[in-house]
Amino acid sequence: MSRGHKFIIRGLFSPKGLIISILVLTSYSGIAQSREFLFNNGVNYMLADREMAIKQFNKAIEIDSSFSAAYFYRGVAKFKQGNYEDAISDFNKVALIDSSVTIIHAYNGFAYRQIGKKDESLASFNQYVKSRDELSAMDHKLIGKAKMETGDLEGAIKSFEQALDTDKGESEYYYLFRALYSHEQYQEALVQINKAINEDDEFYGYYINRGNTSLKLGAFEEALTDYDHALVLEPSVPDSYFLRGRALDTLNFHDKAIEDFTKAIELNPEDGTYYSKRGNARYAMGQHEKACMDWTIANNLGYYEDFNKIKSLCE
């Protein structure tokens, strides 16, 4: 917690502490309860029963409406419940009472993100970063991700580069890769995903991402090799089959593409995209009736890209 607070916390997140607090609460039920007593009960309940924790914090706040620690922990409890708007309200109350508690800006950033308020999320993360004396790689990544969500790709690239200047690792390489890829800087993105693979060559997702990048650069054979490797590492991911099938289809290996699309459908029969692309490959093979069936299924699953094909090419 912030250096501005000296909270009295006994048995924090400890089952033993929780039992002790309950016993104390029972033994002294006839005695006026102090704000600290109620606050400590609330903290001890945080993992076992958040509703009870919130009730304890409520009572502490009734005794002292300027008790910033109670607002903070009540905000955290509500945040963990998914009650993000009320959590933001509590964190903002903390900021009014004690501006030294800067972690609330990070919580607000995540909370605003959860309710779809991207600009407010970015502003909160910016405020959190400004409050820090020394920025860590995680701080730069937080602001970079928030910038990506608001569409500021150039700003995101800069933040992820700053993260790399602070700490070099696969996470830093990967986030910079994502920003560069989204900004269509595919050659630069390839450099970063290669570095991530050098750090961890057993994670299938990196090979999928490198395969996607190779496709954008027109390096189809390299892309196929990466998709093959991803499937060796993790054969149960439908998107790996789908992506390899899409590459094969682009190279006019429609029969092999159909096999991959079919495998993707077997693993996840609810994705209309898989049926759509299999329909395209089947149509290219002259299997018009099967193609129309796939396009119809895709349409029924909410993927409407093939609606005009159904009208013009199918009976």
pLDDT for the residue numbered 149: 85
**Contacts with 129 (C-beta within 8 Å, 6 or more apart), sequence order:** 135, 139, 140, 142, 143
Report the C-alpha gap between 221 and 289 in whole angstroms.
31
Q: Which of 170, 246, 239 has the alpha carbon at shortest distance from 206?
A: 170
Structure tokens at 230: 């991803």
Residue 205 structure tokens = 């997702």
CB 227 within 8 A of CB 208: yes
pLDDT at 1 over 70: no
Sequence ranges of the domains in the chain: 1-83, 229-315
CB 260 within 8 A of CB 241: yes
The predicted structure's pLDDT at residue 2: 37
1-83 under CATH 1.25.40, yes or no: yes
Among 162, 131, 134, 168, which Cα is nearest to 147's? 162
Beta-carbon contacts of residue 131 (< 8 Å; ≥ 6 apart): 102, 105
pLDDT in tens, 266-295: 999 999 999 999 999 999 999 999 999 999
CB atoms inside a 10 Å sphere around CB 283: 21
Q: What is the pLDDT of residues 122-158, one digit of tens each?
A: 999 889 888 888 888 988 998 898 888 888 999 999 9
Q: What is the mean pLDDT of residues 231-260?
A: 96
Q: Does residue 16 register a pLDDT over 70?
A: no
Taking alpha carbons only, the member of 233, 188, 234 closest to residue 213 is 188
Angle (nearest 5°) at CA 74 between 126 and 138: 30
Are residues 281 and 265 in contact, defined by beta-carbon separation less than 8 angstroms? no
pLDDT in tens, 163-214: 999 989 899 999 999 999 999 999 999 999 999 999 999 999 999 999 999 9
d(CA 244, CA 277): 12
What pLDDT, on a 0 to 100 scale, did the predictor assign at position 315? 74
- Spatial CA neighbour of 156 closest among 165, 164, 147: 147
Distance, in Å, from the CA atom of 269 to the CA atom of 175, rounded to the nearest integer, reads 31
**Positive/negative CA dihedral, 230, 232, 238, 240:** positive
Q: Which CATH architecture has domain 229-315?
A: Alpha Horseshoe (1.25)
Is-contact 257 281, C-beta < 8 A? Answer: yes
- 10 Å Cβ neighbour count for 166? 16
Return the pLDDT at 59: 95
% residues pLDDT > 90 (the chain): 74
| AA letter at 181 | Y
Say which range, 13-27, 72-86, 107-121, has the weakest mean pLDDT.
13-27
Given a cut of 70, whether residue 303 has pLDDT beyond it is yes
Does the reported pTM lie above 0.75? no
pLDDT band at 8 (very low <50, low <70, confident <90, very high): very low
The pLDDT tens digits of the residues spanning 21-78 come to 333 343 334 334 799 999 999 999 998 899 999 999 999 999 999 999 999 999 999 9
